[in-house]
Structure 1
C-alpha cells in the first residue's frame, strides 16, 4: 500500500530517547551535504515538534537521517526539486532516468559523453540530467558560472555508481521520506507556512564561500534573519547551519544577526572543504578543516 503523505508509520527516530542511528548512504551529491554529520545536528533538535520544514533541501541529508513523520522539503531550483519529486512520486522513473544516462555514458568515450549530458542540461535544465551529473562530476561539486548560470564542473575521475547500486539507494531512501511532501518554493514561502510548534532547519549557501555554487535562490542573509525572527515570534522553532570557522579553526566567519534572535550556538565539525579541494586541485588540505555554526532560536 502506498503510504499517505502524513502516514502513521513509526518514525525512524527514537523520539523518547532523542537518539538517532546515522544514515550515511547518499542519494545525490551536493556541496554542503550534511549527511555524515546529520546526527550531530539532529542531537540539538527539540524532541517534539509538529511539521518539519527544510527550505534549502539540497541533498536532503538531515531530512533522511531525521525521517520525520510529517515534513515539507523545498527549494526554488526546479531541476533539484524534480529529483526529489520523482523519488516521492515515481521512484522507478528516477531509477530509469539514472540507468539510461549511465548506460549511454559507459558505452563510448566517457569524457565526451559526460560533456554531452552537461551540454544537454545547460540547454534545458532538468532533474534527470542533473541527477547523473551530480554523481559523475568532480567531487560532487555542482558549480554554476556567475556570468550565465551554466553548470561548469568537469567530470570526476571516480567510478560512477552503477544503476543497480543507485536503485538500492532509492529503495533505502523511500521509507525515510514517506512523510515528506516536496515542492518547488522560495524559502520565504516555505517559512510562511510554518505554524507554532513546527521546526524549520535551514542550511542555506555559505555567506563566505558559495557565490559560485548553488545558483538557485536569490539569497540575502539579512532577509533570512528577518524571516527567522518572524517565525520565532509565531512560535516556530528554527535551527540554522551557517558559516562557523575555517582554516582549521584559525579563521572565524563573522555573521551579522540580531543579538536576541538565537538562544544557543553550537559548532559542528564538518571535515575538509570540498570546495577548496576542487579549487586547489585535490590537495590534501589539512589546513582547510571547516566547522559549521548551528544557531537555535529555542
Structure 2
C-alpha cells in the first residue's frame, strides 16, 4: 500500500526558509545559478545555519514523538524548492545534522515548484519567492513570502507553537478591506457594524487555522489505536492569536465569524491601527502572517514574518 499524506498537517517549505542560505542567495543574484550551485557543492559537508522558519519546523515535527510510525504521524514537513538536486542534498544533510526529520523534497532547478503542492496536499507553503507564493494562493493553498531577515523566533516557549494571524485578507476575505480602501475608516466601521451578525467569507489562511485547530484537538486525545492505559499526549501545544487593525465596533464581526466556523483563537488583539510589532514582541510568535508589507516589516523586527500576497492591498 503506498504512503499517504491524508489527514496530516503538511507544511511545504523552501530551503531558504528553513535554512539560512542568504549568503548563497547573494551569489545567485550577483552571478548566476552555476556559481550558486558550485558554492552549494563546495559546502556540501557544512551544515547550514537555521533560517527564519527553523523554530516553526522544529516544533511542528515534535508533535510526533521519536519512533512513531509514518502512518501514525500527524505532521509532515516537505522541502519544496527551486534549488537543484545537488543543492537539495545539502538541505537533507543539514537537516540530519540538526536532528530535523525532513524526509521528502521536491527540487526543480529554477522552475516554479508550486504545482507540486496539490499532490502533497499542503496546508501551508512558505517561500522567499513572491511569484511562487502568488501562484500557490491562486491555487487555493495558504502561502506566504517569508522575510528571511526577520528576527528569529524567541526560545521562551519550547513546548508551544505560537502563530499569529492578521484578519482581513488573511483569515477572512478582503471584502471589508475593500470597503476601507474605497471609503475610509468611517465607511468600514459602518459596514461592519451593520453586518456584525453576518459571518465574513473565509480568507486564504482560514484552512490553515482550521488544520491547526484540528491538530491541537487530536494531540490532546489518545493516539489512534492505542488503549487508554497507553495513551500518549503530544508534548507540544499550539497557541494562536488574531492580531488585527480592527477595533470596536468592527471587532464583533471578526469574533462572530470565528464562532460560526467553530474555530477558537487563544488571543485576540484589536489594535485600531496601532503598529503591530510591539504587540507581537510580547506575544513572541514562531510566525506571523499579514497581507500588508508595512505590518510584516514591523513584525520582522521582533519575530518571523510572512507576507500573504493576496487581497486588494496587493493588487496592481
TM-score under structure 1 length normalisation = 0.30
Structure (1 or 2) with the larger CA radius of gyration: 2
TM-score under structure 2 length normalisation = 0.29
